[in-house]
A = this chain, B = another copy of it.
């Protein structure tokens, strides 16, 4: 995605001829469709699409193209979103104690797998300071043990200041208050250490051990006001056996968490996700 381009995400009520209309709009101005994904939810008669457009040969300016789309978008009764490429999304990472998810994000960002710019790492403990700072990133310790609410206001202020467009809860072990879930709706991604909806809440590996499951997992999802019930972006599982203690599951589960979170962030940042109520459409790459 290093070229001059646009990503268009759209969802609207289904009607015949939608693909022709939308692709026709792009073709009319000689935009070049690099990738085109669409999905029609037959149950709800709703249409979802993602277009990746090379704009370098277009006959009109990108701004004009975006503005002029408004007529069509409104006529379709749709919601849509344009993203200019190339793009790196400003992302803040919230952590508590464990660093494996943070480490994964930093490594993949360095590698160019994730088009994000980490604005800072924010922790309610000091444990991840070193890993953040040696990557050259600011680390903000936010005290939450005494006054949780004040802590979240402080985090919110930091996010605003950093103009974070994405908030990643990378094993951040605090329940985000409803007002903050609302404010960052569709922009806050969590990794939960179970294959949801199994084992919602605290200590999922312990619960998994006690239930005697043969598969453990991790779930990357958007955060909503309902604990661990937001739209799921990606899930990963690993086999476990009777000899695996809850502690072994923590170890084995880390790999699921890293993988599911990394994929989830990548899909979000590449605008491959469209939230549709309690579900997420994901146009995988």
Contact = CB atoms under 8 A, between A and B. Distances in A.
A39 interface: yes
A19 interface: yes
A161 interface: no
Interface in A1-38: 16-21, 23-24, 26-28, 30-36, 38
Given A17-B27, A242-B280, A284-B241, A251 B213 contact: no
Contact of A23 (B19, B57, B282): B19
A255 interface: yes
A190 interface: no
A36 B38 contact: yes
Given A16-B32, A20-B24, A242 B211 contact: no
Interface string A166-208: 0000000000000000000000000000011111000000000
A212 interface: yes
B16 A57 contact: yes
A243 interface: yes
A43 interface: yes
A224 interface: no
A28 to B, nearest CB: 8
Interface in A212-239: 212-215, 217, 231-235, 237
A279 interface: yes
Interface string A51-84: 0000001000000000000000000000000000
A125 interface: no
A242 B197 contact: no
A119 B64 CA distance: 59
B231 A214 contact: no
Contact of A20 (B26, B245, B259, B278): B26
A100 interface: yes
Interface of A: 16-21, 23-24, 26-28, 30-36, 38-40, 42-43, 48, 57, 100, 103, 107, 111, 113, 134, 195-199, 210-215, 217, 231-235, 237, 241-243, 245, 248, 251, 255, 259, 278-282, 284-285
5 contacts: A16-B30, A17-B30, A33-B40, A211-B278, A212-B279
